[in-house]
Each structure stands twice: as C-alpha cells, then as structure tokens.
Chain A
Amino acid sequence: MSDNVEKYIKRKVHKGMSTKISQKFIDAGLEKIRACINCGTCTGSCPSGRRTAYRTRSAIRKALTGDESVLEDIDIWMCSTCYYCYERCPRDIPVTDMIIKLRNIAVEEGFILDSHFTLASDIFYATGHGVPANDPEAHKQWRALRESYGLPPLPPTVHSYPEAVKECQTLMNEVGFRALLDNAAKLKAKRKAEAEKIAKEKTEEEKK
C-alpha cells in the first residue's frame, strides 16, 4: 500500500479492550460497558445530541476501542447528565456514569477546558464556592434578593466565615483535587508548547 493511500484513507486502529481508557473504566467498576450492543438508544434519547455534535454511543465506543482522541473532544462536555440514556439502555449500562468517568479521565490526562479550569482553580479552590456571591459590585442583586426574603445577605458558608476557606483548601488538597488541577495544567501547557513548536517548524519549512 502506497503512502499516498494511507494519507487519504484514515484507518481506525482497534486497540482491543485492554487499553488504558477501558482499563480505567474497569478499575472504576464500570466493566458493564463491555456489554454494549451499540443499539443507539442512548444517542437517540439524548436531548443534547439533538442540538450539538455530542454522540453518546460514539463517544463511549471510541473510549472502549482505545481511541484517545475522544478525550480531547469537547463534545463529551455537552452531556447535561439528564440520565435518559441510563434510564433506557436495554443492557442496563450506567451510560451517564460512563460519560462522567470519561470526563474524569480526560481531566487526568490534561484535557480540561479553559473555562472549567478557571472555575475549578480560580473560583472553587480560591473561594470555596462554586458560585460565589460576595463580589461587591457584580453580585449585589443576589444579596439584595436574599435580604428581601429576610435572609442574611451572605449564606452561612465560607462567605460568612472567611477563615474557613483555608479548611476547604486543606480538604481539597487532601483528596487530591489541587494536584489533579496542577497536573492537568502542566500537561495542557506541555501539549500546547509541543503544538506551537510543530506549528513553528511547519511555517519555517513552508518558508523554505
């Protein structure tokens, strides 16, 4: 087979069921995925897939056959975890849990969206709140809303007890959340540098 043909026909390489990704599913107790018969009930049921390019069955099939490109696919973040796929799967496979696991693996491998990273690191880790309400200007209306119901302007969380932020961070460090984010950032930066290097070489080659 000439190189030319290989260039135009993309061959899918099946790597069997013992690849890194499928092993991670099995380690997480989700080996039921191997019973999938690809009936498409999950994709057909998916309210997100009707509006986006997210294809539940295809994503899981890629993961199962060791196609790691699925990890960098932003579509896997389109699932709204409505659980329709799980509810209807004839093989009783916890499909939604699979997608969540797939996202976990993606983050472990450094495939995290910038917006998600910012939320996790700069907001959740830094403030102890996923959705903070203490910005003097931007969150004013929420505090006013709380007060209109006779509630204190800030909830009895780290907002009311700023000294507890440290404790929250200790907890997040202990469970490895910080390390996960740092690792993801590191891998992401490395990958970006590599991509830039390749792009640079390419442009130089073209110049010549």
Chain B
Amino acid sequence: MTETKKEIIVTGKEKPRIGVYVCHCGINIAGVVDVVKLKDYALTLPDVVLAREYKFMCSDNGQSMIKEDIEAGLINRVVVAACSPRMHEPTFRLVCKEAGLNQFLFEQANIREHATWVNMYDPEGAYEIAKDHIRMSVAKARKLLPLEVQKVKVDPSCLIIGGGISGMNSALDLADEGYKVYLVERTPTIGGHMAQLDKTFPTMDCSACILTPKMVDVGRKEKIEIMTYSEVVDVSGYVGNFEVTIMKKPHYVDQEKCTACGSCAENCPITCGNEFDLGMGTRKAIYIPFPQAVPGEYTIDMEKCIKCGICAREDVCEPGAIKYDDKPEYVTVKVGTIIVATGWDLYDPTELGQYGYGRYPNVITGLQMERLLSSFGPVLGKPVRPSDLEAPHSIAFLQCVGSRNFREGGHSYCSRVCCMYATKQARQYKEKHPEAEVYIFYMDIRAFGKGYEEFYESAAENFGISYVRGRIAEVREGENHNIVIRAEDTLLQTPIELEVDLFVLSCGLEAKADADQVASLLSIQRSADGFFMEAHPKLKPVDTLTDGIFVAGVAQGPKDIPDAVAQAKGAASSAAALMAQGEVEIEPYYSVVIEHLCSGCRTCQSLCPFGAIDFDEFKKIAVVNPALCKGCGTCVSACPSGAMVQNHFANFQLNSIINVAVKQPTVENGGK
C-alpha cells in the first residue's frame, strides 16, 4: 500500500472537477458498446474536466491512472463507469483515499450489469443505457459531499447458531484463538445430523468415533458456552456489537442437581417415538436423545408427559432435580460476530406418491436406513424391513429423490451427498449380507470428492452392487409387502420390472423449515434454493451481506462433511479476522436531523426499525445514533417537515439523478 498523500480538502463549495473513467472490462463492456464514444460523451457533461477509458480500471494500472489525476490536482470527484459497485466500490474508494481525496467523493456507474450484459444483443440500446448511467452518476457526483468514516469496536465474542459438525468446528477454532463463543443449539444435545450417521464415506470411519471426541472437546473448552435446548429469539445491534436474546427452553429438570443417573427414564411409564431414530426407536417422556449426548442433560418432553409424578418421587430421583414448574429463561449476550450453522432438513418424499413412501411399510428414507445400519440404532446395526422385521434379501436404492427435480415441490439443485451415502449404505449391507441383491437406480453418479470415485468403483467391483441407469417411474406393493419397481434401464433402452424386499429413497437435503424466520431475525438473505446466501459465490463464500454475520455448513447449501467442516473453519477464520482488528469501519450513511426544521413529532422514532432514534427532551427534537442507524431511509421519507437527511443519499443528491434521468433541465430542489 502506498503512503497516504497530502489530503485534498473538498468542502463541497468549490467548483466540482469530475474525472470520468470508462472501463472496457475486457470485452464485457467494450465488446458491446463503443467505450471511446462513451468517454467522449462524458466530456460533454457539466463539470467533467477529463475522461479516460482503459481495459481494466480495477487493475493496478487503471487504479494509478485515477490516482495520478487526483494527485496532480486535476480532479476533485471521481466517476468510474464499470461493473456493479458491490465488488469494486471499495477498490476505487481506497484509490481516492490513498490519493488524498475523501472516499465518498466517488460514484460508480454500473454499465456492465445494467447495460451491456442484459442488452448483449442490442448494442445501440446498451449504449443509450450506458450513457444514461454515466449522466446520472455525474449528476450525483456534482452534489457529493465529503463524509467521515465511523469506527466501532468489535466485541471479541461470537454467537454460533447450530451445534452440528459445522458449528462445533467453528466454535473450537474460535475458542482456540481466544475468543468467547456462545454455541446455541435448539435440541437437547450438540452433534447435529452427523451423530445420526453410522459410518462416513469414503473412508468408512465410524461417525460416532470421530464425532463424539469433538463433542466432548466442545463441552470441555472454557471459552465455549454451550446453550443447548435454546433458541435465539432476538438479534439487535450491528457488526461488532450485536445484542442477542436467547431463550433457554425449560428442561423441567434442575441440571445443577441432576446426576444423570437415568433412574427417572427407567421408571417413566410413557414410551414414545425417538426423534433421533426417526421414530423407529423409542424413548421415554423423560430422556436424553442418545447415550453420547453432550451435555448429557435429561429433559422432560411435556407434550408426552402425563405428570404422573413418578420421576419426581424421592426414591426415583434422590437429588430432587425434577422441576415441573420450570419456566423458559431469557439470556442476553453481547457478541461481535455471528456464525449461522443451522444445518438442514431431509426432503420429505411423501408428496411423491409414485414412490409409495408413507403408504407402503417397506419404503424408507436414506436417513432411516442410516439409523437401521447404526450400531447404536434401533436394530443395533442389523437392518430389517419394517413390515416383518426380517433382513431383506434384495434392496433397491433410488437416487435424486427431491433433488434435481424441476417440478413444483422438488429442488432443482443436486444434494451432493446422496450418491455417496447410498453407495456406502449398499456396501455396508453387502458387507453383512454378501448374498443380498443390492441395486442403485441413478441418473448420474456424482463421485466428485477426494477418494469418492475409487469408493464407487470398489462398491461395484468388490461388493457387486448393481448400478442401474434409470430413474424409477413408479412402485407398487406386491405379495408379502414386497415392492415392485417399474423403471427404464436406459442403457438397455427397455422398461424393466423388479421386485425387491426393501426400497430406500435417497432423499436430498433442503433448507431448514424455519430458515425464513432465521433470515429475517438476522437480516440475512436466502438464495432461490432456500439456503442462506453468501456475499459472493466465489470470493466471499462464508460471508453474508450483513456485516459481521457469517454462514457455515449446509445452512449455505448442500455439503458433505469435509466441505462443511472446511467452510466452518473458513467462517471461524473470517469472524476471527474481524475480531482481531478490534474495530471496524462502518459507512457513514446514517441520517442527520436538521435541528431547526424538526418539530419533535416523534414519527421517525416510532418507525425506526433499529431503535436508532432518541428524543432530546430538552431541545424537543429527534436525535439519531449513528452507530445504530443502518441508513434505511425510513425516517427520511416519513418526516413531515423534511428535517431528516440521509448522508450520501440526501434529497438534493437523489433529485439531481432523477432530473437528468428524465432528461429535463436541472431543477435545484430544496433540502440543501
């Protein structure tokens, strides 16, 4: 970085001298419109003193062109006509800053996304639109005022939402770096979906064996405060200074007193389906989800409990830990950063009537198969079919259930894990039953990860799993609850019919059912597939568009365990980078009250979604807290006396754009 040059003082009163820089963006812009003509056009605009074009304005050479012009005193405002400001506005602002010009005297005209990309086949139209954008940006640049960047402290603490393998990895990394971590998990234990898996592909590691030590680690770390059976109910504040309210759901068991002896569960008369085993196993109304749960805290499921009082008896619970009148507890913590690792739900195949899930007992999902295969699952790792509890002789797996399906109710994306988990489950079954017939019906096998293709090859060669290329069209129930499959073997180009004992649907992953609520709670975006959206698909894969909030694991999109862990560590690293700086710059786009115009009606105060407006009882006027204001502009549009001005987006600046956009002579508006 070059040394910051002597500052060029611009107060907004001297005559604007604007430099316009038109970027070719390779052929993205120059391939559609004539950039030299655009440059010449810019020179005809008021207050434009120079205009240049260059192949890549964002390159080192392009940046120094701007810098040299500023340093030579030729210009005091900069307009770059190039791409979307999302990527390069910070780049060019830094150029201005380094050259000694206030960085808010810069304006970017987006002639790539808004003109040449969308009108690739209409060069003349694109040229006209590009001209409009340049004219509007120049108009705004004439009215720009220098602003000062705000700096706020970043609290060295992180809230991680979701205690699966992603959240745990982020938590461990951040704790090792010395930051305080609040790990909030909705269910009574951390571990997430990985705890439900039996083995992991392609190495056939026992999932529990590699997961439970991590869970114990998380539990032991002093810097990590695990809040299981808890939910985030409110988030306020801004980057570096979030205030988070967490509801700890009542366990109805005093965890301080409970010794986890298990006597209560032994004596509880209520038996119900266990969520952890997807309803295929049982638990009591007072329970821990599975033996290795961390923390091993007992919880009463009040929906199932009949309040018989047995567990509370002194001879059952000696320490007297049962607390039927337990209430939810609300905790407020202050954190600097947030990592969202809320994970995924399994696609529900009930809607796909042709596969008979929910109608025929011997149709199960891949995750149910996983529990059947698990050594601590409902059948201790010896899969049986639900109708008669016999070990199936033949099993068919169907891939892409709910995934790669462009119909309503399906997901168009590939879930990335199903090919491998089906292959793994098929292989596990063949290991135990070499005589069994196992078929996998697929459209494409996607074995893209490290060691995956080899795993696929070995499943076919060494274990004799039959791969059939064809998506199953429909199934019906044959004799003895067997499943009769109809499909086309597309490689033989012939319809086939096949009777199997057990039919496994390799269901895909989908966004959590309440992802929309989480998104609005945190003000983060979701992409079209329902998962949380990253700030940039390639270069900012763990950031969200809200500063200080990061995303990890399947919450961002389907991933296998290695990818989820990698992203979790990336999110932890990004969060740590922010916290290590100790303070962060926030854009000064806050609202300002013009005191002599404010009538003190308090309209703005009631409307502000961020609680950023206070009322000065002495002066009887509104006061904006710049640190809390997000610059949404609600108060500006609501103020009946025009007393609110939003920095960088003031009425006179926006009006100047509108005036030239509609090609009318400039009408100077009030609000100055």
Contacts and interface: CB of A to CB of B under 8 A. Distances in A.
Interface string B397-440: 00010001111001000000000000000000000000000000
Interface residues on B, range: 20 to 34
Interface of A: 35, 37-46, 49-50, 55, 57-58, 84, 88-92
A44 B495 contact: yes
B493 A41 contact: no
Closest 3 CB pairs of A and B: A44-B473, A40-B488, A43-B488
Interface in B452-491: 469-474, 486-490
Nearest to B352: A88
B472 A44 contact: yes
B443 interface: yes
A33 B140 CA distance: 48
A55 B405 contact: no
Contact of B474 (A37, A39, A44, A55): A44
Nearest to B470: A40
A204 B494 CA distance: 40
B495 A90 contact: no
Interface in B524-548: none
A45 B406 contact: no
B271 interface: no
Contacts of B400: 90
Contacts of B469: 40
Contacts of B473: 40-45, 84, 88
Given A39-B443, A39-B471, A44-B473, A49 B495 contact: yes
A39 B445 CA distance: 12
B406 A90 contact: yes
Given A41-B473, A46-B495, A57 B490 contact: yes
Given A43-B488, A43-B495, A88-B473, 10 more contacts: A35-B406, A41-B471, A43-B490, A44-B474, A44-B495, A50-B486, A55-B495, A90-B406, A91-B406, A92-B406
Contacts of B490: 38-40, 43, 57
Contacts of A40: 469-471, 473, 487-490
A92 B410 CA distance: 10
Nearest to A38: B490
Given A44-B495, A49-B495, A37 B443 contact: yes
A43 B410 CA distance: 21
B61 interface: no
A67 to B, nearest CB: 13
A89 to B, nearest CB: 7
A50 to B, nearest CB: 6
A45 B495 CA distance: 9
A interface: dominant SS: loop
B669 interface: no
Nearest to B468: A40
B335 to A, nearest CB: 43
27 contacts: A35-B406, A37-B404, A37-B443, A39-B443, A39-B470, A39-B471, A39-B490, A40-B487, A40-B488, A41-B472, A42-B488, A43-B490, A43-B493, A44-B470, A44-B474, A44-B495, A45-B474, A49-B495, A50-B486, A50-B495, A55-B488, A57-B493, A90-B400, A90-B405, A90-B406, A90-B471, A92-B406
A45 B406 CA distance: 18
A46 to B, nearest CB: 7
B347 to A, nearest CB: 13
B354 interface: yes
A39 B442 CA distance: 8
B26 to A, nearest CB: 29
A50 B496 CA distance: 9
A55 B472 CA distance: 15
A3 B365 CA distance: 54
A15 to B, nearest CB: 20
A88 B493 CA distance: 18
Interface string B493-534: 111100000000000000000000000000000000000000
Interface in B243-272: none
Contacts of B494: 55
Contact of A44 (B405, B410, B486): B486
A17 B400 CA distance: 27
B486 to A, nearest CB: 5
A45 B486 contact: yes
B620 to A, nearest CB: 62
Nearest to A90: B405
Contacts of B474: 44-45, 88
Contacts of A37: 404, 443-444
Contacts of B487: 40-41, 44
Contacts of B486: 44-45, 50
Contacts of B410: 90
Contacts of A46: 495
A83 to B, nearest CB: 13
A44 B469 CA distance: 12
A23 B329 CA distance: 67
A133 to B, nearest CB: 39
A44 B488 contact: yes
A43, A55, A57, A84 — most chain B CB neighbours (10 Å): A43
Nearest to A85: B473
Contacts of A43: 473, 488, 490, 493, 495
Contacts of A41: 471-473, 487-488
